[in-house]
Amino acid sequence: MSWDDLHEQKGSGNRGSGSQGGGSQDKPPFDIPQIQIPKFKPSMFWIILGLLLLVWIIPGTFYFVEPDEEGVVVTFGEFSRITTPGMHFKFPSPIEHASTPKVKKIRRAEIGFRTTQGGGLQKVPAESLMLTGDQNIIDINLVVQYKVMDSVAYLFNIRRVHKLVRSISETVVRGIVGNRKIDEALTTGKAAIQINAQEQIQALLDKHKSGVQIVTIQLQDVHPPEQVEAAFKDVVSAREDKERMINEAQGYRNSVIPEARGQAAQIVRSSEAYREEKISMATGDSQRFMLQYNEYKKAPSITRKRIYLETMEEVLPSMQKFVMGNNKQGVLPILPLKPGALGDATGR
Amino acid sequence: MKQNGLIIGLVLVASLISTSMFTVHLTQSAVVLELSKPKKIVTEPGLYFKIPVLQKVRYFSKQLLDNDSPPTEVLTKDKKNLLIDNFSLYRITDPLKFLETVRTENGARARLDDIVYSELRVEIGTHDLIDVVTENRNLIMAKVTEESNKKAAEYGIQMADVRIKRVDLPPEIANSIFNRMRTERQRIAMEYRSEGKEESTKIRAQTDKEKTILIAEAYKQEQTIRGEGDGQATKIYAESFSKDPKFYNFIRSMEAYKKSLKSDTTILLSEDSEFLNFLNKNK
């Protein structure tokens, strides 16, 4: 509050001098010479008059308008003219007054926080905590930037323009937030809030003929109140957790399915190989058999005998053999074909 | 002395002129009082004349003035307490009435606070809390402005606008709101986590199912293919071997001997066997 007042006094300094001019009218500027006259010689009067001219009339006749300012001249309390930057002439004080508002300056109203002298931020919870449509509370900081559009209206229509901008901005933003749900205000609705707020604030300022134009509304910071911030953060991390779990499951899927497909293909291929192998082997065997059979047919008993003996010839040499007589006396080894073969056999 | 007289005359004239003239600034209106009795009201800016000493001028602002009153508790229709902070914009439209009734802006402020709050109480008392916070805020403000304007007219004041700046719940309710917000968030967080679990489990189950099906399909195919192989082979064998089963029997046995009778085999050969039947021919 005190900050406001301070600021306001600074801002309204120009206008203050205007209204004082009207009030000081009943105090005549000639009062001083009237009192002093008996003490001085008549010739001194002219000197005093000359001094007065120097001190009062000459400085009161000129005024300067800086490049970022606009001069507004009031003649006998009535608005008379607007002047551009530079040096200008006017009638001295009781007749004309000049104010020089800074029309190019971007003025700034902070809602929900104050920038302190050191440049730090100081929170103002009473301003920043707002009730949303679904009866939650959120913490909003915003900056309203505005400038003077119509210096005459700015100077004369409203006594405390800065205060009005603040109050209206706060009202409008609260109204808008009150119409929204907390999740909307916290996330997607920010841009819409800014645009809406700017329109509505400007409309109200125009309605009261403030002569002020909103440059921007900036929502500096929209977040849940400190008391519940942890819970809100947890929701964000829960959402991340959800994504993570899904991703992990997808990862599992991505590793398992191709592997299974590979495995299945392997099974099928190996069975195919088995089939081909079986068929080829069967074909080979039968082919061999047929070829052999065709020859065998020509001399069956001889061939048969030959094959038998050849087989025996091939098989028997490496084996241990015992030849038994017909006397039925049991096993009688008589032909150890390989030396030590029997010993090997019994040694086992 | 002649000069002195001239000076005194000049000064007198000057002071007479200055006390008999007054300017009204464009931000002001004025009431001229003659011996404390209102004589004339000036609303247009400019230079005006008055009778010196006898007449005095009181100035009033014509600007839009603001009145920011401290927040107070108001009861809504659904019996809930609300802290309402409002501000009003007003203008002194009838300086004479203003002077007669409230005299100063400070006096006016006290009256305006009373008017606005009583109107606000009446109006908010007919609305539920939710209306005040949300949709109907503008309507309520318009109504209060209108009603206050009627009442303020008797003080020579025009109510330009009454706005609810802030609607807050009393601190003890704010705490329970925070609790509700917290539990609501916890609910949402839990929902997200279990949704994550749900999705994850679904995906895993689907994966396992697909894997099992894939392997089973493969098994099915495998067995079919192997059967095909075996069948074909059997058919081929049967076709060729059936030409001479006895020969097949013989030749296959010979094959089998070659394969199965190895060096670690011990064989007992009878003298009567086919292989040895020439061995004892001499006997």
Q: What is the pLDDT of residues A216-264, one digit of tens each?
A: 998 888 888 888 889 989 998 999 999 999 999 999 999 999 999 999 9
- Domain of residue B100, residue span: 65-169
Percent of chain A with pLDDT over 70: 81
From the list B161, B168, B193, the residue facing A242 with the nearest CB is B193
Which of the four pLDDT bands, split at 50, 70 and 90, describes residue A265?
very high
Q: Are residues B48 and B71 in the same domain?
A: no
Query: What pLDDT does residue A16 have?
Result: 40
Q: What ipTM was estimated for this complex? A: 0.71
Please report how the helices A226-298 and A300-315 are oriented relative to each other, as an axis angle in degrees rounded to 10.
130
Percent of chain B with pLDDT over 90: 25
From the list B27, B186, B251, the residue facing A156 with the nearest CB is B27
Q: Are residues B55 and B75 in the same domain?
A: no
Most confident region among A2-11, A141-150, A216-225, B160-169 by mean pLDDT: A141-150
Asked whether residue B85 is domain-assigned, the answer is yes
Number of domains in chain B: 2
Specify whether the CB–CB gap between A159 and A113 falls below 8 A. Answer: no
**B277 CB near a chain A CB, below 8 Å?**
no
Q: Name chain B contacts of A33, Cβ cutoff 8 Å.
A: 7, 11
Question: Average pLDDT for residues B188-213, to the nearest whole number?
Answer: 94
Asked whether residue B69 is domain-assigned, the answer is yes
Query: What pLDDT does residue A198 have?
Result: 93
Query: Which residue, B99, B109, B119, is CA-closest to B42?
Result: B99
Domain boundary among A224, A243, A258: A224
Contact between B233 and A282 using a beta-carbon 8 Å cutoff: yes
Is residue A294 pLDDT above 50, yes or no? yes
Is residue A32 pLDDT above 80, yes or no? no
Quote the pTM value. 0.67
Q: Are residues A59 and A130 in the same domain?
A: no
B214 vs A340, residue with greater confidence = B214
Query: What pLDDT does residue A334 have?
Result: 52
Query: What pLDDT does residue B70 have?
Result: 84
Asked whether residue B174 is domain-assigned, the answer is no
Give residue A330's identity as a one-letter amino acid code. G
> Cα-atom radius of gyration of chain B, to the nearest Å?
57
Question: Average pLDDT for residues A121-130, to the nearest whole number?
Answer: 84
From the list B19, B185, B254, the residue facing A307 with the nearest CB is B254
Q: Are residues B101 and B145 in the same domain?
A: yes
Determine the distance from the C-alpha atom of residue A21 to the mean position of all C-alpha atoms in its chain, rounded to a whole number: 54
Which of the four pLDDT bands, split at 50, 70 and 90, describes residue A17?
very low
Q: What is the CATH number of the domain that holds B163?
A: 3.30.479.30
Question: Searching chain A, which residue's CA lies closest to the CA of residue B188?
Answer: A235
Percent of chain B with pLDDT over 70: 97
Query: What pLDDT does residue A25 have?
Result: 47
Secondary structure (H, E, C), chain A? CHHHHHHHHHHHHHHHHHHHHHHHHHCCCCHHHHHHHHHCCHHHHHHHHHHHHHHHHHHHHEEEECCCECEEEEECCEEEEEECCEEEECCCCCCEEEECCECCCCEEEEECEEECCCCCEEECHHHHEEECCCCCEEEEEEEEEEEECCHHHHHHCECCHHHHHHHHHHHHHHHHHHCCCHHHHHCCCHHHHHHHHHHHHHHHHHHCCCCEEEEEEEEEEEECCHHHHHHHHHHHHHHHHHHHHHHHHHHHHHHHHHHHHHHHHHHHHHHHHHHHHHHHHHHHHHHHHHHHHHHHHHCHHHHHHHHHHHHHHHHHHHCEEEEECCCCCCCCCCCCCCCCHHHHHHHC
Domain boundary among A224, A255, A284: A224
A285 vs A272: CA distance, rounded Å: 20
> Cα-atom radius of gyration of chain A, to the nearest Å?
56
Q: Are residues A117 and A202 in the same domain?
A: yes
Contact between A246 and B200 using a beta-carbon 8 Å cutoff: yes
B219 vs A11, residue with greater confidence = B219
**B209 CB near a chain A CB, below 8 Å?**
no
Asked whether residue A281 is domain-assigned, the answer is no
Q: Name chain B contacts of A227, Cβ cutoff 8 Å.
A: 178, 182
In this predicted model, what pLDDT tens digit does every residue of A303-334 receive, in sequence order? 888 888 888 888 888 877 777 766 555 555 45
Query: What pLDDT does residue A18 have?
Result: 39
Contact between A18 and B25 using a beta-carbon 8 Å cutoff: yes
Query: What pLDDT does residue B9 have?
Result: 85
Domain boundary among A158, A192, A224: A224
Which of the four pLDDT bands, split at 50, 70 and 90, describes residue A5?
very low
Asked whether residue A278 is domain-assigned, the answer is no
**Ramachandran class of B187: left when φ > 0, alpha when ψ lies in -120 to 50, beta otherwise:** alpha
Contact between B181 and A256 using a beta-carbon 8 Å cutoff: no
Angle at B60 between CA B54 and CA B61, to 5 degrees: 155
Question: Average pLDDT for residues B73-100, to the nearest whole number?
Answer: 88
Asked whether residue A327 is domain-assigned, the answer is yes
Q: Are residues B95 and B133 in the same domain?
A: yes
Q: Are residues A219 and A114 in the same domain?
A: yes
From the list B22, B185, B243, the residue facing A231 with the nearest CB is B185
A10 vs B127, residue with greater confidence = B127
From the list B191, B193, B222, the residue facing A271 with the nearest CB is B222
Q: Are residues A53 and A12 in the same domain?
A: yes
Q: What is the CATH number of the domain that holds A206?
A: 3.30.479.30
**Gap from B101 CA to chain A (nearest CA, Å):** 22
Q: Are residues A88 and A23 in the same domain?
A: yes
Q: Are residues B165 and B75 in the same domain?
A: yes
- Domain of residue A259, residue span: 228-272
Which of the four pLDDT bands, split at 50, 70 and 90, describes residue A33?
low
Question: Average pLDDT for residues B150-177, to the nearest whole number?
Answer: 86
In this predicted model, what pLDDT tens digit does every residue of B257-283 receive, in sequence order? 888 887 777 777 777 777 777 776 554
Q: Are residues A85 and A115 in the same domain?
A: no
A21 vs A306, residue with greater confidence = A306
Contact between B237 and A282 using a beta-carbon 8 Å cutoff: yes
